[in-house]
Structure 1
Amino acid sequence: MVISRLYYIFWVWYNFKKILNEVIYSYMDSFWEKFDSQKVFEKISDELLEEALFDNPNLINVILKYKNTVNRYDEVLREFLLNYSNSAEILLSHYEVKNNFQKDILCIPPSLTLDDKENILLDYLSSNDPNINYIKLILNMRNQKGFKITDKTRLKAKRVLSNETDKLLKISASMKYGVNVTFDSNELLSKNVSIDEDQTMHYVYSASYIKSNSDPYSLFLNFKDLFEYLDIENRISLVSNKRNLGTFERIIGLRSKDEYLKGIAFRIAESSSLAQIMGYSKVVEDLGKPLESLLSIIFMEVFPSKYSLPSNARFLVPTATSYLEKIRFLAPEFESALKQFKLYVEDKEIDFELLQISSAPSSIKDIPSLNRNKYIYLNEDNNISVNCSDLLFSDQTLLAYVEPFKEKKYGTFFNLLINEDVKFSSYESFLLPRLNYLLDNNVIHVDKSDSIIFNNPLRVLVLKDLYDNEVASFHHYPEKYQNEILKMAKEDLIYLENSLFSKPEQSYFNYYLNKSEFTNGLDLRNSYLHGTQASSKDEKEHEIAYFTYLKLVILAFLKIDDDLKIYSSISN
């Protein structure tokens, strides 16, 4: 064994360059794995490795997988990375990219300092053809122990991204989509939604319907009933949802592991909701009820009269002329309203003296609910709940494709079972382990006629809701479902939590308001609070920021309305 190892080392040393030139690419990993494990590097000089990397720079992607080799050639690899055109992409892929598939972990040379890494990124940003995806990663990266950048580098990334995006738009023929919102007095339906051949969404709302239902609460509820800011369970429908990403969107492009996902569905919802609130603002203003005044009435009059919110609740936004001023007046009132609701949940009263003493801002996740068991979540640590959900609802499962229903393209096993009488014997043997898993965990059974049947349809429907939306609202389910949900919680398939906003909703607010959770967050709260927002001359940008902020206030008030309504119903 010793002779064999010594002979191998001698053979590699003697033929090193020839081996690297002739080894087939698919065997390159095997060669370097043995090079590392057999410590062949003890006999290969720095100069030989430098020559090998000069002849074939792509070797670096393989070499960095092997820790012993990296440590041996630490300085050589550092010098190489400082001058290699793709070093920035290697560093970003290692530290920042969220991998959907298992990839080898790279070993970065220990001698490569933080300054070295930042200089590599700066050189990349100054290069002739930087990749727009990697520029975004630099802009949105979160500083960490082994990889951080200064604000100057981040600003340079922002400017380079702007230039590269402009160039791309001039030559791009990529997919286009648009939104058009109209309020029409002649429209017979309260709302009419269509999409044209240019992929433009057209929303037409009846101005007559709005005017004939112009009491403050009805005008407020239009954000739910007409614009569908909330869904049937009063979850915010505008949030980013990984289930709304197409297969293509899931696998292409680079994303930071700390980035808020923004697929096409999210961008359309973002554009639509913004156009809706901007158009609706003019409609209600014509009715003599500006949105800021309407929200004051909702919080200070409607909530106390309809529910149990204390009558001293306060939400008053001073009048302002510019959008910059409007945001600066709106932001602290919004924060105050959330704090007031938090005090009410905790103490059943709003003590403004206590509110003033508690000067620290309240985190969105810390706003409690009046109601126990507010939200339902899938227990991601329970393999049974996760695996069964994937087998039932994933569009990647082969259980949906079985004769004689293949041509109908149901997509998921769940859709197939609720539409067809599926026979167990129709499945080929290689799919039986998946079916047996569902059988063993009492999700399905096979009846006397060989048909596959759900054991507990209520439980399956709850799991589907969680799979599709990442969260479900306990109190919006009928009682028989609630009883089943409590059983599922005892079995640790799911868990329940109490908060005003669900986890996806908390992430949505954090994306817009701060950078506490996401590196690509818009940070509206902090930028306007600390005066680091866009120039006061950029009125259009401030207008968009203002209506975005206003949308967040409306969403929060809709969630408070839902919470108060549930609490009132249970109390009565």
Structure 2
Amino acid sequence: MNGIDNQVNLFKVFSHLFNYTDETSLIYLVSKASELDVMERVMGVKSRNEYEVGQVFTRKEILSILQLHLIDDYLKRKNSGIEQLINSFILHINGLLEPNNLMFQVRVSDSPELDKIRTLLPDFDFLLKQYKSLAEDGTIDIEFLQVSSKPIGFSQITSQNKKKYVYSNDRLILQLKHMFFSDQSHMYYTKTFETKYTNLFDLLTKETVNLDDFANYQKDTIQSLIKDGYLKIDKENNVEIDKITFIYIIRELHKNQLLNYWHYPKFVRDEIDLLIEDEKLFIENTLFSKEEVKYFNFYLTKRYIQTVMI
């Protein structure tokens, strides 16, 4: 980090070096259903609105906290801090938004962390209201926003992109997601490769798999997938994925529960558009994805309450 010459580039360390966001600009630190193992999914009594976490989430959380302490220590040795870093980035953003201007500044103090959070939350809420106003109206009416005392939820903030996050609750896509990507599917085990892979997609994309490698109880499903055009058989009787772009989209849905539309190449977006027209997918233009909203609420409600109770 010593080679980074300004605060804005240093702020980007959180994304580019620490991987707080992934290659499609989704927050990497969220808990994902695809990262839970079988025991984590089924064990224990779970409430309806519980934020499910497992070992992968815990590892990501611990690493992110260590990284935060690392950069905080580095900044203090430079007579700076996390607060100054955030304030510098806000100034950078304001330079891009002219003539609009975001009113937000993190106070620099030696107060305990909990007191800092209590002080920051109203200002952070006001920052979110400002962005919502900018996204919806193209301008920030500070006087009007200062009159409003009603807090804003993360899910209420719209994005300036009309196409932002892609989701699906379509039955066919859910079925294909299970067949190709679930570790509970019966399709990934073959007599040649046994349990080398934990889903059918990885098996077919990383190995040459002959139809005869599958057991009789699996072949009916394979033939059904061939008939529907999701798989094909080559001249050597090997099984291959056919609608690869469509299946790739399902893989992204399995991994993240959604896709961030503009972070995929045009041929993928074209396929997404067709699936939206066919009502297999739907799109939302919120600033944060549903998974990110759950993550923020988990920390700002449950975790905050736990800290107060302690």
Partner of 1:483: 270
Aligned mates of 2:197, 2:37 — CA distance in 1:
16
| Offset from partner CA, 1:372-426 (integer Å, 9 cap, x none) | 221111x22x2211111111111222221223222x6122111111122222243
Confirm whether residue 263 of structure 1 aligns to residue 263 of structure 2. no
- Matched position secondary structure for 1:438: helix
Q: CA deviation at 1:312?
A: 2.3
Aligned mates of 2:280, 2:234 — CA distance in 1:
26
Confirm whether residue 222 of structure 1 aligns to residue 13 of structure 2. yes
**Identity among equivalent pairs (%):** 30
Aligned mates of 2:172, 2:239 — CA distance in 1:
19
Aligned mates of 2:5, 2:119 — CA distance in 1:
26
Aligned mates of 1:448, 1:276 — CA distance in 2:
52
5+ residue gaps, structure 2, are: none
Q: Which has the higher contact order (CA 8 A, sep 6+)?
A: 2
Partner of 1:427: 214
Partner of 1:325: 115
Partner of 1:522: 303
Confirm whether residue 354 of structure 1 aligns to residue 144 of structure 2. yes
* Matched-pair contact (CA < 8 Å) for 2:103–2:127: yes
State TM-score, norm by structure 1.
Answer: 0.51
Q: How does 1:203-222 map to 2 (within 5 A)?
A: 210-222=1-13
Aligned partner of 2:293 among 506, 515, 536:
506
Confirm whether residue 236 of structure 1 aligns to residue 27 of structure 2. yes
Q: CA deviation at 1:309?
A: 5.8
State TM-score, norm by structure 2.
Answer: 0.92
Aligned mates of 1:497, 1:413 — CA distance in 2:
30
Aligned partner of 2:203 among 416, 421, 437:
416
Q: Structure 1 285/402 Cα, relative in aligned 2: closer, same or farther at 3 Å?
A: same
Read off the aligned partner of 2:213 and give its amino acid letter. Answer: S
Confirm whether residue 368 of structure 1 aligns to residue 158 of structure 2. yes
- Matched position secondary structure for 2:245: helix
| Stretches (4+) displaced over 6 A | none
How big is the alpha-carbon RMSD for the aligned residues of Structure 1 and Structure 2?
A: 2.0
* Matched-pair contact (CA < 8 Å) for 1:296–1:314: no
Q: CA deviation at 1:444?
A: 1.2
Read off the aligned partner of 1:501 and give its amino acid letter. Answer: F
- Matched position secondary structure for 1:445: strand
Aligned partner of 1:314 among 78, 89, 103:
103
* Matched-pair contact (CA < 8 Å) for 2:100–2:139: no
Q: CA deviation at 1:258?
A: 2.1
Q: Structure 1 501/375 Cα, relative in aligned 2: closer, same or farther at 3 Å?
A: same
Partner of 1:494: 281
Aligned partner of 2:81 among 290, 302, 313:
290
Instruction: Name the larger-Rg structure.
Output: 1
Aligned mates of 1:303, 1:403 — CA distance in 2:
57
Read off the aligned partner of 2:303 and give its amino acid letter. Answer: L
Partner of 1:245: 36
Read off the aligned partner of 2:128 and give its amino acid letter. Answer: L
Read off the aligned partner of 1:221 and give its amino acid letter. Answer: K
Q: Structure 1 504/338 Cα, relative in aligned 2: closer, same or farther at 3 Å?
A: same
* Matched-pair contact (CA < 8 Å) for 1:511–1:522: yes
Confirm whether residue 462 of structure 1 aligns to residue 249 of structure 2. yes
Aligned mates of 2:116, 2:99 — CA distance in 1:
27
* Matched-pair contact (CA < 8 Å) for 2:100–2:140: no
Partner of 1:67: none
Read off the aligned partner of 1:399 and give its amino acid letter. Answer: M
* Matched-pair contact (CA < 8 Å) for 1:388–1:438: no
Read off the aligned partner of 2:252 and give its amino acid letter. Answer: D
Q: How many residues align?
A: 309
Partner of 1:390: 178
- Matched position secondary structure for 1:398: coil
Read off the aligned partner of 1:341 and give its amino acid letter. Answer: Y
* Matched-pair contact (CA < 8 Å) for 1:236–1:505: yes
5+ residue gaps, structure 1, are: 1-209, 515-520, 535-540, 542-572
Q: CA deviation at 1:311?
A: 4.4
Aligned mates of 1:284, 1:232 — CA distance in 2:
26
* Matched-pair contact (CA < 8 Å) for 1:304–1:311: yes
- Matched position secondary structure for 1:452: strand
Aligned mates of 2:191, 2:52 — CA distance in 1:
37
Partner of 1:202: none
- Matched position secondary structure for 1:411: coil
* Matched-pair contact (CA < 8 Å) for 2:252–2:259: yes
Aligned mates of 2:145, 2:98 — CA distance in 1:
16
Q: How does 1:16-415 map to 2 (within 5 A)?
A: 210-299=1-90, 301-305=91-95, 307-308=96-97, 310-323=99-112, 324-377=114-167, 379-380=168-169, 382-406=170-194, 409-415=196-202
Aligned mates of 2:209, 2:133 — CA distance in 1:
54
Aligned mates of 2:239, 2:107 — CA distance in 1:
63
Aligned mates of 2:27, 2:92 — CA distance in 1:
21
Aligned mates of 2:223, 2:173 — CA distance in 1:
15
Q: CA deviation at 1:491?
A: 2.2
Q: CA deviation at 1:523?
A: 4.2
Q: CA deviation at 1:221?
A: 0.5
Q: Structure 1 257/358 Cα, relative in aligned 2: closer, same or farther at 3 Å?
A: same
Read off the aligned partner of 1:249 and give its amino acid letter. Answer: E
* Matched-pair contact (CA < 8 Å) for 1:309–1:344: no
Q: CA deviation at 1:251?
A: 2.4
* Matched-pair contact (CA < 8 Å) for 1:369–1:498: yes
* Matched-pair contact (CA < 8 Å) for 1:317–1:329: no
Aligned mates of 1:239, 1:392 — CA distance in 2:
23
